[in-house]
Amino acid sequence: MLQDLFKQIGADELQSQRMASQLLKRANQLAEEESISEAEALENLLKKIIEGQK
C-alpha cells in the first residue's frame, strides 16, 4: 500500500519500494525517539508527504 502511494506521486517501481521500506524504518526510529507508537509515527510522516504534495 505504501509502495502504491509513492508510485502515485511519481516514483518508479524500484524507488517506491525503497521509499516505502525507508519510511517504515524512519517511523520506527521516530517511535523510539519520541516514545510514541509506530502507527502514530507513520501517520505523522504520511501527513507530511500529503502536505508536501499540496
Q: What residues make contact with other proteins under the rule CB under 8 A?
A: 6, 18-20, 22-23, 25-26, 45, 48-49
Q: Among residues 36 and 49, whose Cβ is nearest to other proteins?
A: 49
> What is the C-alpha separation between 45 and 23, in angstroms, rounded?
8
Q: What nine digits make up the cell of 40?
A: 502514530
Q: Among residues 4 and 48, whose Cβ is nearest to other proteins?
A: 48
Cβ of residue 53: shortest distance to other proteins, in angstroms?
A: 12
Q: Among residues 22 and 37, whose Cβ is nearest to other proteins?
A: 22
End-to-end Cα separation, the chain, in angstroms:
20
> What is the C-alpha separation between 38 and 34, in angstroms, rounded?
10
